[in-house]
Amino acid sequence: MKIRWLGTAALEIKTGSSIILIDPWLSRFKKAYPPAPNVNRDMIEKADYIFISHGHFDHFEDTPYLVEKTGAQVFVSERAAKFAIEQKNLKEEKVTSLLGDEKLEFEDFNVQVINGKHIDFDFKTIISKIFNPYTYSGAYRILKRGQLKWPKGDVLGYLFDLFVEEKPIKFMLFGSLGWRDDLFEGKESETDILAMPIAGRREAWKNALKYIDLFNPEIVIPTHWDDAFPPFSDYYMNQIDKLEEKLKNKQKQIDIIKLEINKEREINL
């Protein structure tokens, strides 16, 4: 299995003969950090499947273009799909609308759809944006582009069973890391790899630790920690460092893999 992080929550997964994209938003702002000048929506030449965690622009905006270019099949919540089909020219015949809890079967992998929750922004993060003068010039740009119109819709996660010859890999992905104590009640499932966003809160590592305790992965892949659309996003590497520090206290060794943007990496368990 090969994986490439494309910034924000965007991932490219290659398994067997299939190319899977997760939340492929590649239209980073000019002042994004870390800089990734070669990341843009034209870089994608081929994709078979696109899975969307929720409908916000930084997860879903580039999908209509990518579907037109690659012919990929899209899996996304019903509300987000309806908006993109009616207002953003997403091809309806290429869309599978999801409600959550579906089980999907493909040649190289199976998928269990998981109902999730968007992260709740904390007070300090909200205040820091309100009193940042750059927020308002940034808001004008986003409003002009219509990016705030993209509805969140249902928030979904995905548990992939990847049919890798050496050893089947369970790969769980989330595009937002909200938490409620009963959110996954009766849905506990161990995974080999957990890819999840570290963003949205000054102490985002705390929610991440709850997901790790619940799903017990061997490997954690942080995403969405880059400052991709300033001044609204932030750089969260300090939260990953804090999470790494906390994981040292676990009896089980859990590795954090910090992927570089646009660098493909092969993962074997």
The domains of the chain are located at 2-266
Mind listing the pLDDT tens digit for each residue in 113-127?
999 999 998 887 888
Give the global pTM.
0.94
3-state secondary structure of 129: helix
What CA–CA distance (Å, rounded) separates 78 from 55? 10
What CA–CA distance (Å, rounded) separates 233 from 231? 6
Which helix (H) or strand (E) segment holds residue 81: the answer is helix 78-87
When comparing pLDDT for 125 and 154, which is higher?
Answer: 154
Mind listing the pLDDT tens digit for each residue in 39-70?
999 999 999 999 999 999 999 999 999 999 99
What CA–CA distance (Å, rounded) separates 156 from 99? 9
- Examine the pLDDT at 146 and tell me if it is beyond 90: no
What CA–CA distance (Å, rounded) separates 198 from 176? 8
What CA–CA distance (Å, rounded) separates 208 from 198? 7
- Examine the pLDDT at 133 and tell me if it is beyond 80: no
pLDDT for residue 81: 98
CATH of 2-266, one of 3.60.15.10, 3.40.50.300, 3.40.50.720, 1.10.730.10: 3.60.15.10
